[in-house]
């Protein structure tokens, strides 16, 4: 059964908005089974975005707008590389953050962040008693990366590097395995916006995960959690997860309220959940979706579902921006500007405006396009547009889930 068909038949009652997960939590995660893991991009795409579904136990409930937390593990190869560079076997005993005794291998795999390097870790590494013994002018060079006065150098060094780079560039500082707990931060869970409605998928939770892969400083890198999900989470595998409530990203209570949703890339995830939920409930409000990515041919995530929803009149408008399908880059904010008059008309009708995805560039550009649409539509000043948006925020009609 494909997802669109699945959407129409599996509607069940679920408890009200409590978004809790029975006895499970971040500290007591649920060992979920992977029931779907499929690549959403077509052959030829530069991206690897995967649709995941995890099994849930009875009593675990979520609401569109929530996220699922994944407790990741570092790759065995990365752990082995760090152990090799430090000259340890992995069998050494250490005390974890809760003073439980475990092997160093387990600590490096499940407790400590050996991925993305931070200035904090570099600073702590330089403070180890053994750091002074780093050969050549190593200790001096290491110190040049530490402290507030060297912030720029430190940031530059950390960019695109991981712990393995630090111990390869400045070897010999770690004398005792336990010292690693002073140097490395804790391996933390990763959150993924939920991409499903539990009205349609009562026993599972779905997500849209972009696998982070990049090459820097002569090494191929893989995101800890997304890499694990991309490479070591086939259907049938298990992963510890928890449900994470987000009361600040919610569908309107009014089923007739119009929605404008801007979700490029993986930002599309919660809007799949919103639309599935609205469809399942039979909500009559209009729905306008802006989606963007690199290429229409490979990167139009869930397009079959959108086409189906459009045909049914459920998705009132769909505007897409594929940045690399033409010489000049086109983004979702450009589509918003092209449709400024209609966008403002929707806002005047009481539309709720939602943004999800990249916090660094996209969210700011979308906010500016929204302000511009308000100026254009209302004939007011930029200051009045800012006030208009502030009022929308107060009414919970401007909500963001950005990362």
Ligand X SMILES: Cc1cc2nc3c(=O)[nH]c(=O)nc-3n(C[C@H](O)[C@H](O)[C@H](O)COP(=O)(O)OP(=O)(O)OC[C@H]3O[C@@H](n4cnc5c(N)ncnc54)[C@H](O)[C@@H]3O)c2cc1C
Residues that bind ligand X (CB under 6 A): 67, 72, 115-116, 160, 190-193, 207-210, 212, 214, 216, 223-227, 266, 269, 401, 403
Residue nearest to ligand X (CB): 223
Nearer to ligand X, 41 or 208 (CB): 208
Q: What are phi and psi of 368, to 5 degrees?
A: -65, -40
Rank residues 29 and 285 by Cβ distance to ligand X and give the closer one: 29
Query: Is residue 29 within 8 Å of 243, Cβ to Cβ?
Result: no
Distance in Å, CB of 211 to ligand X, minimum: 7
Nearest to 68 by CA among 79, 78, 58, 53: 53
Contact 227, 76 (CB under 8 A): no
Strand (E) or helix (H) holding 260: strand 259-262
Q: Between 90 and 263, whose beta carbon lies closer to ligand X?
A: 263
The total of other beta-carbon atoms located within 10 Å of residue 271's CB is: 26
* CB 172 to ligand X: min, Å: 26
Distances (CA, A) of 183 to 70, 101, 256, 262: 24, 18, 53, 40
Rg (CA), the chain: 24
- Closest approach, Cβ 221 to ligand X, in A, equals 7
Residue among 85 and 402 whose Cβ is closer to ligand X: 402
Kindly tell me which of 108 and 128 has the beta carbon lying closer to ligand X: 108
Q: Which is nearer to ligand X, 216 or 238 (CB)?
A: 216
Residues 157 and 67: their CA atoms lie apart, in Å, by 32
CA-closest candidate to residue 273, choices 207, 184, 341 = 207
Closest CA to 368 of 352, 355, 349: 355
Minimum distance from CB of 173 to ligand X (Å)? 23
Q: End-to-end distance of the chain based on CA atoms, in angstroms?
A: 33
Q: Which of 308-331 are b and which e, b meaning 16 or more Cβ less than 10 Å from the residue's Cβ?
A: bbeeeebbbbebbbbbeeeeeebb
Taking the C-alpha atoms of residue 373 and residue 367, their distance in angstroms, rounded to an integer, is 10
Kindly give the pairing relationship between strand 287-293 and strand 259-262: parallel
Closest distance of CB 227 from ligand X, Å: 6
CB of residue 125 to ligand X, shortest distance in Å: 18
Instruction: Choose between 332 and 373: whose C-beta lies nearer to ligand X.
Output: 332
Q: Smallest distance, Å, CB 97 to ligand X?
A: 19
Closer Cβ to ligand X, 229 or 351, answer by number: 229
Among 233, 208, 273, 230, residue whose Cα is nearest residue 31: 233
- Quote the least distance from Cβ 360 to ligand X, whole Å: 10
The conformation of residue 109, written as its DSSP 8-state character, comes to I
Shortest Cβ 157–ligand X spacing (Å): 13
CB closer to ligand X, 269 vs 275: 269
Residue 283 contacts residue 253 (beta carbons within 8 Å): no
């Amino acid at each position: 059964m494909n997802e669109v068909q699945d959407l129409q038949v599996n509607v069940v009652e679920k408890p009200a908005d409590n978004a809790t997960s029975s006895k499970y939590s971040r500290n007591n995660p649920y060992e979920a089974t992977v029931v779907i893991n499929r690549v959403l991009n077509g052959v030829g795409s530069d991206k690897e975005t995967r649709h995941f579904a995890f099994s849930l136990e009875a009593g675990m409930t979520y609401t569109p707008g929530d996220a699922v937390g994944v407790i990741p593990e570092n790759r065995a190869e990365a752990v082995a590389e760090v152990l090799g560079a430090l000259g340890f076997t992995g069998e050494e005993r250490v005390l974890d953050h809760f003073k439980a005794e475990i092997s160093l291998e387990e600590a490096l795999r499940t407790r400590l962040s050996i991925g993305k390097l931070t200035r904090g870790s570099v600073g702590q590494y330089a403070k180890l008693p053994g750091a002074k013994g780093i050969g050549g002018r190593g200790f001096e060079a290491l110190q040049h990366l530490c402290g507030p006065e060297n912030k720029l150098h430190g940031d530059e060094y950390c960019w695109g590097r991981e712990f393995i780079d630090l111990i390869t560039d400045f070897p010999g500082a770690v004398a005792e395995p336990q010292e690693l707990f002073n140097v490395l931060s804790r391996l933390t869970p990763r959150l993924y916006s939920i991409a499903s409605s539990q009205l349609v998928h009562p026993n599972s939770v779905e997500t849209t995960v972009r696998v982070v892969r990049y090459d820097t400083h002569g090494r191929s890198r893989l995101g800890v959690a997304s890499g694990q999900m991309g490479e070591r989470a086939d259907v049938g595998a298990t992963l510890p997860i928890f449900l994470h409530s987000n009361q600040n990203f919610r569908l309107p209570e009014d089923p007739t309220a119009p929605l404008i949703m801007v979700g490029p890339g993986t930002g599309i995830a919660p809007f799949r959940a919103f639309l599935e939920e609205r469809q399942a409930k039979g909500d009559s409000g209009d729905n306008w979706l802006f989606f963007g990515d690199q290429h229409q041919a490979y990167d139009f995530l869930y397009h079959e579902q959108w086409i189906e929803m459009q045909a049914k009149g459920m998705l009132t408008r769909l505007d897409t921006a594929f940045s690399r399908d033409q010489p000049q880059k086109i983004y979702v904010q450009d589509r918003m500007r092209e449709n400024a008059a209609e966008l403002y008309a929707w806002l005047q009708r009481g539309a709720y405006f939602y943004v999800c995805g990249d916090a660094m560039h996209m969210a700011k550009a979308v906010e500016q396009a929204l302000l511009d649409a308000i100026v254009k539509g209302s004939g007011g000043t930029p200051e009045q547009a800012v006030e208009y948006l502030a009022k929308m925020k107060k009414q919970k009609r401007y909500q963001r889930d950005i990362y």
